Each structure stands twice: as structure tokens, then as C-alpha cells.
């Protein structure tokens, strides 16, 4: 079995790392350059940087900030937010990103996924899906979780896989920031229906939640923000906990 990945996430607004609950009630938690360096030193497997208001505000991701973060870490680095054209992706990869995540742009222009895979390779393409569950139906949202789309989570994930996405970053809006656990049932359904890796996001509150999403949820990676940002648990503590439960991780 492949090692499960632990991925801290830096949600960035106005150049500062922030965190909210259910995609609202945003507050600052620190400097993304410093925090990224700490997570890399702790042994995080990857880092995700999301400029959470770039699309909503109609601007591009902070390329210079991406460059500063990349210079201070030695682990794979995924960047998203405000990406809508191949030139945006080129700029982010040139600034030090290892992978680029798209969400709103993919839903508005699905062909962009094909173009990204063709020009840069599927290994560089992460499609993020922010989805909200209501009465058993999962709807994908755009513009940082502000606007519902006409895409259904599972069919949309299969479509972008077919278009060349190399990875899915699934965030349950219902669980985001609640610390009540990941959406394991939906994550497992995604993992079982896809041949590409699934990163689970939204709801991590303790180490057991990670064990659950890796076993019950069958996720390839677990992403979290606040429990790491507020030092409720550290990456080394989490990896030791998972290893003791026979869940493969890189130590």
C-alpha cells in the first residue's frame, strides 16, 4: 500500500494565512512563508496554498508570495486560486509551484483541464471540488464556496479524471472547519470510483479523524489547516499515531 500523505493547507487572504468555518467567519492565523517552512521542517509530505478570494475578487494568485514560500520549503507544493488560463499556470510553476489546483475555472471551462494535462502533464493538474451535501445530493460550488454550480460531485470528478486531472482535492463544505471529522462516506465513494488519488479536506479535529479517512474513507491524502495552525497536533505526532495503527506514512 502506498504511504498516506499528510498535507497542511495555507488558505491565504491579503497575503496572510486565514481560517474559517464552513467557508465563512474568516480570521488571520499567521504568515504563510513562516508557516510553510515550519511544516516542511516537521515532515509534512506536501503543502497546499490556496488564495481563497482571488477568483471572487477577479484577480490572479500572488505569484511573488508563491515564490517566497517555494524558496523556504523542500516538499511538493500545490497552488490554487484565481487560475483561469495556461499563462497563469506557467507563471505559478515558474515561481516554484509543483502542482496547480483549479476549481472555478474548471467548472466554467472544462476544456482547461484537457489543455493543462496536454501542455504540462497530468501530474501537475489538481482539480479542487468544494461540495455541499443537501438531502443526499452533493453539489459542487464555485467562487470560494459562494455560488452553486450545475455539477454533481461524483460525475464531475469522473469527468475531470477523464479529461486528464492527476488528482482530486475534495473539500466537504458541510464539514469544513467544524473539527467533527471528514466526510468519509463521500470520500470513499470518490476513491472507489476513480483511478487517480483523492485528497480529503474539511473537518479534521483530531488524529483519529485522519485514521478514519484513510481506512473508512479510503483517501490517499488528508489535508487540514486549523489543527496544525493552532498546534493542536503536530505532523510528527500524527504520523507516529498513524504508524502505530498500521497506516503507512513516510516518517
**122 pLDDT exceeds 90?**
yes
**20 pLDDT exceeds 80?**
no
Residue 23: its pLDDT value, please? 43
Residue 69: its pLDDT value, please? 93
Average pLDDT, stretch 5-11? 94
Domains and CATH numbers, the chain: 5-244 (3.20.20.70)
Residue 61: its pLDDT value, please? 60
Residue 24: its pLDDT value, please? 46
Categorize the per-residue pLDDT at 59 as very low, low, confident or very high, splitting at 50, 70 and 90. Answer: low
Query: Catalytic site residue 130?
Result: yes
Residue 166: its pLDDT value, please? 98
pLDDT in tens, 172-216: 999 988 899 999 999 999 999 999 999 999 999 999 999 999 999
- How many CB atoms neighbour CB 150 within 10 A? 8
Average pLDDT, stretch 134-151? 93
Residue 226: its pLDDT value, please? 87
- Listed range (69-78, 82-91, 189-198) with the worst mean pLDDT: 82-91
Categorize the per-residue pLDDT at 243 as very low, low, confident or very high, splitting at 50, 70 and 90. Answer: very high
Categorize the per-residue pLDDT at 119 as very low, low, confident or very high, splitting at 50, 70 and 90. Answer: very high
**1 pLDDT exceeds 80?**
no
Residue 134: its pLDDT value, please? 94
Q: How far apart are CA 197 and CA 41, in angstroms?
A: 25
Cα angle value 48/138/194 (rounded, 5°): 60
pTM, full prediction: 0.92
**124 pLDDT exceeds 60?**
yes
Query: Catalytic site residue 11?
Result: yes
- Give percent of the chain with pLDDT exceeding 70: 90
Mean pLDDT, rounded, of the chain: 91
pLDDT in tens, 22-53: 544 555 667 889 999 999 999 999 999 988 66
Average pLDDT, stretch 42-70? 79
Q: Which of 51, 88, 130, 176 is catalytic?
A: 130
Amino acid at each position: 500500500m502506498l504511504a498516506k500523505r499528510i498535507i497542511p493547507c495555507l488558505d491565504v487572504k491579503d497575503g496572510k494565512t486565514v481560517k474559517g468555518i464552513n467557508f465563512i467567519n474568516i480570521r488571520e492565523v499567521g504568515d504563510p512563508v513562516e508557516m510553510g517552512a515550519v511544516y516542511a521542517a516537521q515532515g509534512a509530505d506536501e503543502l497546499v496554498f490556496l488564495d481563497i478570494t482571488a477568483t471572487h475578487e477577479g484577480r490572479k494568485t500572488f505569484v511573488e508570495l508563491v515564490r517566497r514560500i517555494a524558496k523556504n520549503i523542500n516538499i511538493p507544493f500545490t497552488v490554487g486560486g484565481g487560475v483561469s488560463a495556461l499563462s497563469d499556470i506557467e507563471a505559478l510553476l515558474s515561481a516554484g509551484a509543483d502542482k496547480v489546483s483549479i476549481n472555478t475555472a474548471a467548472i466554467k471551462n472544462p476544456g482547461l483541464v484537457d489543455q493543462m494535462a496536454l501542455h504540462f502533464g497530468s501530474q501537475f493538474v489538481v482539480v479542487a471540488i468544494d461540495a455541499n451535501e443537501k438531502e443526499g445530493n452533493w453539489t459542487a460550488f464555485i467562487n470560494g464556496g459562494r455560488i452553486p454550480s450545475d455539477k454533481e460531485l461524483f460525475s464531475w470528478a469522473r469527468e475531470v479524471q477523464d479529461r486528464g486531472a492527476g488528482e482530486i482535492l475534495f473539500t466537504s463544505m458541510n464539514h469544513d472547519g467544524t473539527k467533527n471529522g471528514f466526510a468519509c462516506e463521500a470520500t470513499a465513494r470518490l476513491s472507489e470510483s476513480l483511478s487517480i488519488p483523492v485528497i480529503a479536506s474539511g473537518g479534521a479535529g483530531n488524529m483519529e479523524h485522519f485514521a478514519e479517512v484513510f481506512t473508512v474513507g479510503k483517501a490517499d491524502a488528508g489535508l487540514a489547516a486549523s489543527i496544525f495552525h493552532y498546534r493542536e497536533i503536530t505532523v510528527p505526532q500524527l504520523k507516529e499515531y498513524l504508524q502505530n495503527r498500521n497506516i503507512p506514512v513516510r516518517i
